Amino acid sequence: MSTDPTADRGVEDLLRALAPQVLGTLVRRYGAFDTCEDAVQEALLAAALQWPHEGVPDNPRGWLATVAARRLVDQVRGEQARRNREERVALATPQSELLARPADTAPDADRDDSLTLLFLCCHPALSAPSRVALTLRAVGGLTTAQIAAAFLVPEPTMAQRISRAKQAVRASGASFRMPEESDRAERLAAVLRVLYLVFNEGYTATGGADLTAPGLSGEAIRLTRTLHRLLPDDGEVAGLLALMLLTEARRPARTGPDGALVPLPEQDRGRWDRRLVDEGTALLERILPRGPVGPYQLQAAITAVHDEAEHVGDTDWPQILALYDLLERVAPNPVVTLNRAVAVAMVHGPTAGLDLLAALESDKRMARHHRLLATRAHFLEMLGDRTAAAAAYRDAARRTASAPERRHLASRAARLSSPDGLDPGRSFR
């Protein structure tokens, strides 16, 4: 077993990059997505155990495809009640061919089916959680245990979710091909939504002891880079990648030495990753002039305005408000309205912001959401109403499932409730 963690990470990165290519090869060839996916997972596990100490083969993709194809045949032959499937596989590929050469050395060996695979994993027959789980496993190459850990659910629960997702794909009769032109835009929107959800969960976890799950956001960026490579001229794909990069750039400054949440206005901007900021900004500068501008591009533009300010006081809030005005017209939803309220408060004052929050209170999706309550608390604090602000912060703290967010909100409430305005739970050094 390898003792070099760098080498082990290199193998892991390679396997995750090859996973969708190998799965695409097998599904295109044999058609059985569910059994092909199981076979590829077994091949990935075998490689993870062997390659670190035996070395990566000269043709790693061919190695994986060959092993997965053999495992597929073994699975089919082991299912005595499903001999028709064995016959289909046997007819499709002679045994001598399976033993003679890798499954990806056909004339179209260089074909990358990752995009087709992404579309299949985001099939309309699947629920949003199922799309996320199946994409991370089939395209991301993550194990069921890794996905379960990232979403803080038991491994058997996640295994059932993935199994049901694969059954739903099979029951839908979906074939392994690109959607018709008339459906492609809608399916691409579903793919982007899944990648967006995965990134958001990684950047700000909805529950648990940690504020972030870097593995998830990193995986979302990797998959979105792949999608951008496959669709380089799509503005919203590039916009989503830019949004992720510009947001991820702030991660180093999001928590203090003790792991406590540091809100954007209080972050040390010198710790932001300028390389990611520059890459995201360059993407935006290339795609925005092309038009039309979609919601991911607008969100990326808003994030870029924040990232370009060297100090919080330099933030161009009127420009951010103008972008939110446009975003609310293009893709209206309560979260956009909530964020726009912050921009309104910064441009026109906290009372104007509170007026917008009042309109959200009738929306059942947001009425008692901890972010709405925390925003109201911030506006009340800006107005100098310490008592009401403290109460709102405490209410918000009770309603979040994230331990770091709960501690941060409770700390704000404690500071406002303290006679001297200091957090009694903290000491100054």
DSSP per-residue letters across 181-238? HHHHHHHHHHHHHHHHHHHHHHHS-SEES-S--HHHHHHHHHHHHHHHHHSTT-HHHH
- What pLDDT is stored for residue 136 in this prediction? 87
- Distances in Å between the alpha carbon of 123 and those of 39, 162, 164, 174, 186? 21, 14, 13, 8, 10
Q: For each of the chain's 429 residues, which pLDDT tens digit applies?
A: 444 555 567 888 888 888 888 998 888 888 888 889 989 999 998 999 899 888 999 899 999 999 999 888 887 776 654 556 555 655 555 554 444 444 445 444 456 688 888 889 888 889 888 999 999 888 888 888 888 877 778 899 999 999 999 999 888 888 888 888 878 888 899 999 999 988 988 888 777 677 667 788 888 999 999 999 989 999 999 999 999 999 999 999 998 888 889 999 999 999 999 999 999 999 999 999 988 899 999 999 999 999 999 999 999 999 999 999 999 999 999 999 999 999 999 999 999 999 999 988 888 778 778 999 999 999 999 999 999 999 999 999 999 988 889 999 999 999 998 776 554 434 322
DSSP state for residue 106 in the 8-state scheme: S
Distance of CA 292 to the CA centre of its chain: 24
The DSSP 8-state label assigned to residue 139 in this structure reads I
pLDDT of residue 89: 58
Identify whether 292 is preceded by a cis peptide bond (ω within 30 of 0).
yes
Q: Residue 97: what pLDDT?
A: 46
Question: CA-CA-CA-CA torsion for 393, 397, 398, 401, nearest 10 degrees?
Answer: 150
pLDDT, position 246 = 97
Residues shown for the chain: 429
Q: What residue segments make up the domains of the chain, in order of their start?
A: 5-100, 114-348, 368-429
Tell me the CA distances in angstroms from 156 to 84, 136, 216, 418, one per residue in order. Answer: 30, 16, 20, 46
Q: Supply the pLDDT for residue 369.
A: 87
Rounded-to-integer distance, Cα 110 and Cα 120, Å: 20
Q: What is the pTM of this model?
A: 0.79
The whole-number pLDDT of residue 64 equals 93
